[in-house]
Amino acid sequence: MKPEELKSFVQFMKENDLTELEVKGVNLHLKLKKKDQKIESELSEEEDFVKITSPLIGTFYRAPSPASPPFVEIDREVKEGDTLCIVEAMKVMNKIKAEKSGVIKKILAENGKIVEYGQLLFLIEPT
């Protein structure tokens, strides 16, 4: 790919508020990704909330098993150390715990979906 072609991609990304570009060779495979502005703007308004992030890449589970109720729900009070979810990585179930006591205000990951390292999972309003 020539630098001029790359510049046009960069310009396109800026104009469309894209955050990720993946380009592959031969017959070309192009992947563009846009940031979620809604979540970012909401987060800026919620600076005082405790942010729980994923410590690793894995599959997010809200409950210990498919037949069990979720560990937490929105507007439910949690105590420091309570299990909020499980992130499964390499067949190991890693319990993610509340860092502080408070009320669950947002659940930002989808059950059964892959989460990334550092991805925001929960917002907790401290009590």
49-106 pLDDT, tens per residue? 999 999 999 999 999 999 999 999 999 999 999 999 999 999 999 999 999 999 999 9
Distance CA 18, CA 108 (A): 21
The domain spans of the chain are 1-35, 37-126
Residue 114: predicted pLDDT: 95
Long-range pairs of 94-98 with CB within 8 A, sequence gap ≥ 24: 94/55, 94/56, 94/58, 96/52, 96/54, 96/55, 96/121, 98/50, 98/52, 98/124
Does this model's pTM top 0.75? My answer is no
Choices 3.40.50.300, 2.40.50.100, 2.70.70.10, 3.30.430.20: CATH for 37-126: 2.40.50.100
3-state secondary structure of 11: helix
